[in-house]
Amino acid sequence: MIELKPDFVKGYGRKGAALFGKGEFELAKKAYEDGLKVDGTNETCKNGVQECEQKLSGEDEESKAFKKMFSDPQLLGKLATNPKTRAYLQQPDFMQMFAEIQKDSKALQKHMNDPRVMDLLSVALGVNVMSGEDFQNQNQAPPAQQQTQTKAPEEPKPKKKTPEEIKKEEEAKLPENKRKALKLKEEGNAFYKKREFDDAVKKYEEAMESDPTDPTYINNRAAVRFEQGAFDKCIEDCEKSIEVGRENRADYRVIAKAMARKASAYEKMDKLTEAIEWYQRSLTEHREASTLNKLNSCEKKLKDKEIQAYLSPELGEKARDEGNELFKNQDFPNAVAKYTEAIKRNPNDHKSYSNRSACYTKLAAFNEALKDAEKCIEIDPKFVKGYSRKGHVEFFTKQYDKALETYQAGLEIDPSNEELKDGARRCIMEQNKAASGMLTEEELKARQESAMRDPEIQSILADPVMNQVLRDMSENPQAAMEHQKNPMIMAKVRKLINAGIVQTR
């Protein structure tokens, strides 16, 4: 066909295919190349040339797979991490053999007698490849021995290094000047612990000269200045330590430590505002529990200082008098403000607490009124006005039992006080109304709701013993008589009666 029509490209392709099928790869290649001379774009001839070249070079698909496997860049890493092949990488003859196999996969057959090749194949393929000898030995070995042979030998666990050993290794990597500075610092620390401060400063300064980029040595000298009471010099060193630390990107904890020491120096100088500022900066740099505690302590100290600076009994009395005038004019909110000012000026003025309690009562702010009345009694337990203030709040909130106790406590101090007597009488009247069922349905409901908010009433009602007592009093007269002989039980029953929870007819 080619002779009849030399420019018919398919003829060359068919000739090449026929020769390729006979295994005559050289002649097949030439036929395909002749076809490409006629039509250089013909895909059949192009592919034919490539297939012939592969056959002539011996690089078939299997060879390609082996070549790809041994040229895998991760293979060396796998060999290095495998306990069995790790040592081979230190053997020059193995590395030479490995390079040869990487270059030409046919070399694998050449080295098959080397037992290391089987291990190499096992790692490369990810399976356990055994030689014939290994297979025979394994089958001849007893079962227990076979099992042990399949296990890779365990690598001994590396000994855990101590912090001191790690520190020494890290220091050994440092430049000479840094190692020298660290040694000088340790010598300075030894003097510091013995409170030999002059010698400590000398060593720290030598360390600073040896390594001027480390702020730690400046900070250490600042610590000495602090102990010596030279707070201005301490602050200067802290500022320099922070500056050097920033310039050389030192550990943030070192910078935070310098800031905290600067704050402590300010605190010793009673410059509390500056101290608080630098404690806060230190915490922003690094959150340290001890620094946070110092900040809280310093803030409390500043607050106490401000309170003490504001104290003035004379100005407090003036503010109370102004509050009294406002109270007479029924300007209760402004009266509260004046009494508050009086208390700030003199926190031990029981009269200001008493008067403010009266104001809060007028404004129906009963919780605040009760607290002020109790504070008044705490400051001066003999001031009977405090008891009447407290009793009034308890009466208005329908806590008649508690109000009666408060009025009676005041009467023990001043038995002739008419205000306290009147309060006690009103309490007894309200208790009798509840006991005799004289309350309207709305009054009874309001009193019960108020009582149910009382923790003491809640505790009585939750007591299973008291629940049994109440059942006995309604169902078992004989048991009720026995309960009445117990003063503690009857005191609780009276509280429930006065609260409107229990009624008698």
Please say whether the beta carbons of 469 and 418 come within 8 A. Answer: no
Question: Structural domain tally of the chain?
Answer: 3
Q: Could you give the CA distance from residue 417 to residue 408 in angstroms, rounded to a whole number? A: 11
Please say whether the beta carbons of 345 and 311 come within 8 A. Answer: yes
Torsion 292-294-296-298 (CA) sign: negative
> Does residue 187 share a domain with residue 235?
yes
> Does residue 190 share a domain with residue 275?
yes
Of 328, 284, 264, 276, nearest in space to 302 by CA: 276
Q: Which of 137, 165, 187 is the last residue of a domain?
A: 137
> Does residue 216 share a domain with residue 95?
no
> Does residue 232 share a domain with residue 114?
no
pLDDT at 144: 47
Classify residue 286: in a domain, yes or no.
Answer: yes
pLDDT at 129: 47
Classify residue 224: in a domain, yes or no.
Answer: yes
Q: Could you give the CA distance from residue 130 to residue 113 in angstroms, rounded to a whole number? A: 12
> Does residue 87 share a domain with residue 48?
no
Classify residue 145: in a domain, yes or no.
Answer: no
The three state secondary structure string of 57-113 is: HCCCHHHHHHHHHHCCCCHHHHHHHCCCCHHHHHCHHHHHHHHHHHHCCCHHHHCCC
Query: How long is the chain?
Result: 505
> Does residue 203 share a domain with residue 286?
yes
Which structural domain, as residue segments, surrounds residue 21? 9-57
Classify residue 435: in a domain, yes or no.
Answer: no
CATH assignment of the domain containing 261: 1.25.40.10
> Does residue 298 share a domain with residue 226?
yes
Classify residue 238: in a domain, yes or no.
Answer: yes
pLDDT at 153: 58
pLDDT at 210: 93
CA distances (Å), origin 171, targets 166, 167, 174, 175, 181: 9, 6, 5, 9, 11
Classify residue 270: in a domain, yes or no.
Answer: yes
> Does residue 253 share a domain with residue 205?
yes
SS3 for 174? coil
Q: Which of 283, 309, 335 is the last residue of a domain?
A: 309
Q: Which residues contact 122 (CB under 8 A, 6 or more apart)?
A: 84, 128, 129
Classify residue 169: in a domain, yes or no.
Answer: no
> Does residue 96 share a domain with residue 46?
no
pLDDT at 148: 47
- Cut 0.85: pTM above it: no
> Does residue 115 share a domain with residue 227?
no
Q: Could you give the CA distance from residue 79 to residue 123 in angstroms, rounded to a whole number? A: 7
> Does residue 94 share a domain with residue 41?
no
Q: Which of 284, 309, 334 is the last residue of a domain?
A: 309
Of 283, 289, 271, nearest in space to 234 by CA: 271
Q: What is the pLDDT along the chain (505 residues), one digit of tens a residue?
A: 455 456 666 788 788 888 877 778 888 888 888 888 888 888 888 888 888 877 776 555 556 666 667 777 777 778 778 888 888 888 888 888 888 877 776 677 777 778 887 787 777 776 554 444 454 454 454 544 444 445 555 666 677 777 777 767 777 778 889 889 999 999 999 999 999 999 999 999 999 999 999 999 999 999 999 999 999 999 999 999 999 999 999 999 999 999 999 999 999 999 999 999 999 999 999 999 999 999 999 999 999 999 889 999 999 999 999 999 999 999 999 999 999 999 999 999 999 999 999 999 999 999 999 999 999 999 999 999 999 999 999 999 888 889 999 999 999 999 999 999 999 999 988 878 766 667 677 777 776 677 777 788 788 888 888 888 888 777 777 777 777 778 888 888 777 766 666 766 5
> Does residue 127 share a domain with residue 240?
no
Classify residue 378: in a domain, yes or no.
Answer: no
SS3 for 145? helix
